[in-house]
Amino acid sequence: MHGADTDGRVVASACTIAIDDLPDGLIVTDRFGRVLAVNRAAARLTGVSLERAVGKDMNEVFPFRDHDGREWWKALDPEGGLRTRSRVPERPLHMPGGQELYVAARFTREPERCGDVERVTITLRDGGARARLERSRADLVSTVAHELRSPLTSVKGFTATLLAKWTRFTDEQKRVMLETVNNDADRVTRLITELLDVSRIESGRLELHRQVVDVPARTRRIMAGRVAAGEAEDRFRLVVGDDLPEMWLDQDKIDQILGNLMENAVRHGRGTVTIDIESVGWGIAVSVRDQGEGIEPELAPRVFRQFWRGNSRRRGGTGLGLFIVKGLVEAHGGTITVQRAPEGGAEFRFTVPTGTPDFA
């Protein structure tokens, strides 16, 4: 008997650890509404501890109400209703303090088909987190609509004009119009690429295709491209440390990281943009510094969020670039931070490990 008791305690302890590992709140009751288990997430979301809840009546310790003030547990009625009922869909409910939670329930019956309810498993999700997610999605739709409207209006206007009055324009006028259409089409393509990157990062579907990448050489190539596009040659300064390790990285994504950070430094900073590449033993660290106004320390945590554009929205951009940069760096197993540069301005510093080939 002593061994059986010990085994029972071990199993109960393992079950408690298992439900405590769940990201969502979980409450388990019997058919009469007596609380059997509460995990840490549920205790955090409701403010009701395990010790205070277990053995008590569900409606006493978790008095959930709907928007009309009705008691959720009484409406749930595990002993009543159709005997084929196995679940109750998620819906928003309130605790007495006003906190909104999304609550769903599932019945365990014995026998499984049409039997009596043995247990009720209740899951809780944070209503505030859901509201923030919905706001984020609404912001994404609004941003996409705004960013697409301008170039598409331009494309439509110029193409309609050319089709209707082709013979009235000189070759030079036609060329200018077609160049504008081409540039606006590029803007739309970049936006769609950014949206696809955001989707892959958020869903965990971002794939890396590793190869040996010469990061200083890629940096020089991007700098040369910006100079060719009209930036002053002395706008950029590259500092490369000694004994850089061989790096197995996704070349296209490293180009995207470097390009975005340089674009950000040029758009939001001033003076010389310095790119410093050094070895950190297990990988490399790359710092991109400008000489502008910098970023206030209290704003630093927001920089890598979606739609962050600093204090000046008139400078354009979707506000997705730094969010994507962070996702690409982390996909390589690295980290990225932002701080004030030694000469003022902002300094973005990311580190990535050496990596291994895909076939290793």
pLDDT of residue 56: 94
Place of tokens 């008997």: 1
Rounded-to-integer distance, Cα 189 and Cα 57, Å: 58
Residue 275, amino acid: I
Are 286 and 215 in contact, with CB atoms under 8 Å apart?
Answer: yes
Over residues 89-122, the pLDDT tens digits come to 888 898 887 778 989 999 999 888 888 899 999 9
Cα three-residue angle 352-358-360, rounded to 5 degrees: 100
Nearest-10 crossing angle of helices 171-203, 127-165? 160
Report how far apart, in Å, the C-alpha atoms of 356 and of each of 95, 198, 246 are. 51, 25, 10
What's the rounded mean pLDDT across residues 223-233?
89
Cis peptide before 297 (omega within 30 of 0): no
Q: Where are the alpha helices (DSSP H) in the chain?
A: 2-20, 40-46, 50-53, 58-61, 72-76, 127-165, 171-203, 215-228, 251-268, 321-331
Please, which pLDDT band fits residue 342 given cuts at 50, 70 and 90?
A: confident
Report how far apart, in Å, the C-alpha atoms of 56 and of each of 61, 62, 118, 203 are. 7, 10, 17, 40
Q: Tell whether the model's pLDDT for residue 313 goes beyond 50.
A: no
Over residues 167-192, the pLDDT tens digits come to 999 999 999 999 999 988 888 887 88
Domains and CATH numbers, the chain: 2-128 (3.30.450.20), 131-203 (1.10.287.130), 210-353 (3.30.565.10)
pLDDT of residue 8: 41
What's the rounded mean pLDDT across residues 71-80?
87
pLDDT of residue 215: 96
pLDDT of residue 314: 42
Phi, psi of 61 (to 5 degrees): -95, -25
Share of the chain above pLDDT 70, in %: 89
71 CB neighbour count, 10 Å cutoff = 13
Q: Tell whether the model's pLDDT for residue 13 goes beyond 70.
A: no
Rounded-to-integer distance, Cα 34 and Cα 28, Å: 9
pLDDT of residue 316: 53
Q: Which range in 43-47, 169-173, 284-288 is most confidently predicted, on average pLDDT?
A: 284-288
Rounded-to-integer distance, Cα 109 and Cα 111, Å: 6
Report how far apart, in Å, the C-alpha atoms of 319 and of each of 225, 256, 288, 294, 315 are. 23, 15, 18, 17, 10
What is the SS3 assignment for 61?
Answer: helix
What's the rounded mean pLDDT across residues 309-335?
77
What is the SS3 assignment for 317?
Answer: coil
Strand 116-126: give its sheet, edge to edge.
35-38, 25-30, 116-126, 100-110, 87-94
What's the rounded mean pLDDT across residues 17-31?
84
182 CB neighbour count, 10 Å cutoff = 10
Are 224 and 235 in contact, with CB atoms under 8 Å apart?
Answer: no
First to last CA, the chain: 52
